[in-house]
Amino acid sequence: MSPPDPELTWLCGQPKTNGEPCRMRADLGSPDCRIHGPAPVDTLRLRMWDMHRRGIAAGRELLAREQAQAAREAERAARWRLTERGLQVVQFGRYAYVWDGPPLKLGDRCLLPGNWLVADPMEAEVTGFGTDYDGTLAQVLRKIEEEATSDR
């Protein structure tokens, strides 16, 4: 193993019991201090910016990755919607559908149209609301009303 590149390391800096900053070395590969635990996220970001500024490839790469991730999240948030054409957007597991009727609640059971994978309509439970999917959403066929349990 090669010795750690001093350019890529920093001191933990979290206060020791005597109030002095901790001098344990950390780096992006192992940013946790053995005494003080994980470095605060702000510290990591600061290190990435610093490396970026100094033209250090590892820092640049990590920062770029983090920024790409933030951009993806922002894009996803911008696409996120709870209604589509005025209809409620409902999640059934990983997939979202639109529902034309009184608002569904979590746990409601519905009949969904078949798809390319499963030709027959299928039952599924509402697991959430809204979507960031930008394609066309299929429509829930109907809500499955709870059957009366009493047999009177």
Contact call for residues 48 and 67 (beta carbons, < 8 A): no
Pick 22 or 138: Cβ nearer Zn ion: 22
Shortest reach from residue 24's CB to Zn ion, in Å: 4
Shortest reach from residue 137's CB to Zn ion, in Å: 50
Residue type, 87: L
Report if residue 26 touches Zn ion, rule: CB under 5 A.
no
Select the residue interacting with Zn ion from 8, 22, 122, 138 (CB under 5 A): 22
Shortest reach from residue 36's CB to Zn ion, in Å: 3
Shortest reach from residue 93's CB to Zn ion, in Å: 43
The piece of 24-32, 87-95, 109-117, 141-149 that touches Zn ion (CB under 5 A) is 24-32
Pick 8 or 22: Cβ nearer Zn ion: 22
Q: How many CA atoms lie within 13 A of 47 on its CB side?
A: 24
Residue 29 CA, chain-centre distance (Å), reads: 22
Report if residue 144 touches Zn ion, rule: CB under 5 A.
no
User: In angstroms, rounded to a whole number, what is the distance separating the alpha carbons of residues 78 and 18?
Assistant: 47
Q: How many residues lie near Zn ion (CB under 5 A)? A: 7
CA distances to 42, 58, 66 from 53, in Å: 16, 12, 15
Report if residue 33 touches Zn ion, rule: CB under 5 A.
yes
Which residue in this structure is represented by tokens 């394609």? 135
- Residues in region 34-93 near Zn ion by CB under 5 A: 35-36
For the chain, give me the number of helices (H) and strands (E)? 2, 9
Quick one: which H or E segment has residue 41?
helix 41-53
**Where does this chain bind Zn ion (CB under 5 A)?**
12, 14, 22, 24, 33, 35-36
